[in-house]
Amino acid sequence: MTIASDKSLRGTLREKELLAKHTSWRVGGPVKTFYQPADIEDLRLFLSKLEDNEKIYWLGLGSNLLIRDAGFDGTMICTSGVLNGIEVLDGQRLYVEAGVACPKAAKVSAKNALTGAEFLCGIPGTMGGALAMNAGAFGGETWDVVEVVQTVTASGELKTRSPDEYQISYRHVVGPQQEWFVSCVLKLSSGDAKQSQQKIKDLLNKRGASQPTQQPNAGSVFRNPKGDYAARLIESCGLKGTCIGGACVSDKHANFIVNTGTATATDIEELITYVHTQVEKQTGVDLNREVKIVGDR
């Protein structure tokens, strides 16, 4: 029996799914197998049925990610909209599953008079992705507020792990291999709901004023080098507005590349390479890419 005909699975399985529909850049070719699990138990079952050598990639809201035009010859597991459990456990702890959008986690915490997670409103991805890369915004970082995480192994086994089992740094997390985040518990502080909600509103206004939120983008393309900002370096090289095909360096924020409507993944990747090369050539700084590039050329 193939996975496609396995009646024990309750999630949604599609073959040759076009990934442009699932990425914030709105580009990307087809994936061999696309699966949206019904819940964590269904996810465990699905993983247990995959071949040992199957290539697996996890997809949330598709931000911070460039899928190449030829697609991905493996299995893409999409958690967005399905692993969406979120609840206050007690006075200061919030349980959040991997598919919950970070801004939703911020808003739920604020509504329940919990403070410390407001910065999550500025992360355009899911909690699973935020955990995987220690995503941050407005001076806050994901793992600053993590008490415990739950992971799933390639064989479908669930594990509970603490932050001290991971090497965590700026936009970088290293932990046990072949394990993926399915949920976490955030340790927050008691606060004032109205104050937290106003803070989120102010942060979102700040983000909208400084970032091209109305155009398809994947968030920051490069990590900030120590003591400096990637956007400042890119702008200093006169690269704002530079385009390759339908991909352009944003006029609003130089560390964002936008799809003006006709970009291909190749356009975007070539522009990323061009920006990197020019910044290194003109400033001597070797920028580290934040965006993940996946798939076949």
- List of residues 6+ apart from 24 with CB closer than 8 A: 61, 62, 63, 65, 124, 216, 217, 218, 219
Question: Model's pTM, two decimal places?
Answer: 0.91
The reported pLDDT for the residue numbered 91 is 78
Topology at the third CATH level for domain 86-210: 3.30.465
Q: Using an 8 Å Cβ cutoff, are 282 and 81 in contact?
A: no
Average pLDDT over residues 95-112: 97
Answer yes or no: 210 catalytic.
no
Task: Report pLDDT digits (tens) over 149-179.
Answer: 999 999 999 999 999 999 999 999 999 999 9
Q: What is the dotted CATH code of the domain comprising 7-78?
A: 3.30.43.10
Average pLDDT over residues 103-117: 97
Task: Report pLDDT digits (tens) over 20-38.
Answer: 999 999 999 999 999 999 9
Answer yes or no: 220 catalytic.
yes
CA distance 287 to 9: 43
Q: Using an 8 Å Cβ cutoff, are 24 and 85 in contact?
A: no
Q: Classify strands 72-78 and 56-59 as parallel, antiparallel or unpaired.
A: parallel
Q: Which of 24, 63, 183, 220 is catalytic?
A: 220
Report helix, strand or coil for 121.
Answer: helix
Task: Report pLDDT digits (tens) over 205-256.
Answer: 999 899 999 999 999 999 999 999 999 999 999 999 999 999 999 999 999 9
Q: Classify strands 12-18 and 30-36 as parallel, antiparallel or unpaired.
A: antiparallel
CA distance 170 to 278: 24
Q: Which amino acid is at 33?
A: T
**CA-to-CA separations, 69 to 138, 221, 233, 295, in angstroms, rounded:** 33, 18, 29, 8
What tokens appear for 275 in the block? 């920006």
Helices 193-210 and 102-111, packing angle to 10 deg: 150
Judged against a pLDDT cut of 50, whether residue 1 lies above it is answered with: no
Q: Which CATH number fits domain 230-294: 3.90.78.10, 3.40.1380.10, 3.40.50.300, 3.40.50.720?
A: 3.90.78.10
Confidence grade of residue 6 (pLDDT, cut at 50, 70, 90): confident
Domain with CATH 3.90.78.10 in the chain: 230-294
What tokens appear for 236 in the block? 């200093």
> In the 3-class helix/strand/coil scheme, how is 133-184 assigned residue by residue?
HCCEECCEEHHHHEEEEEEEECCCCEEEECHHHCEEECCEEECCCCEEEEEE
Q: Which of 171, 207, 223, 232 is catalytic?
A: 171
Q: What percent of the chain has pLDDT over 90?
A: 93
Judged against a pLDDT cut of 70, whether residue 285 lies above it is answered with: yes
Report helix, strand or coil for 93.
Answer: strand
- List of residues 6+ apart from 194 with CB closer than 8 A: none
Answer yes or no: 290 catalytic.
yes
Domain with CATH 3.30.43.10 in the chain: 7-78
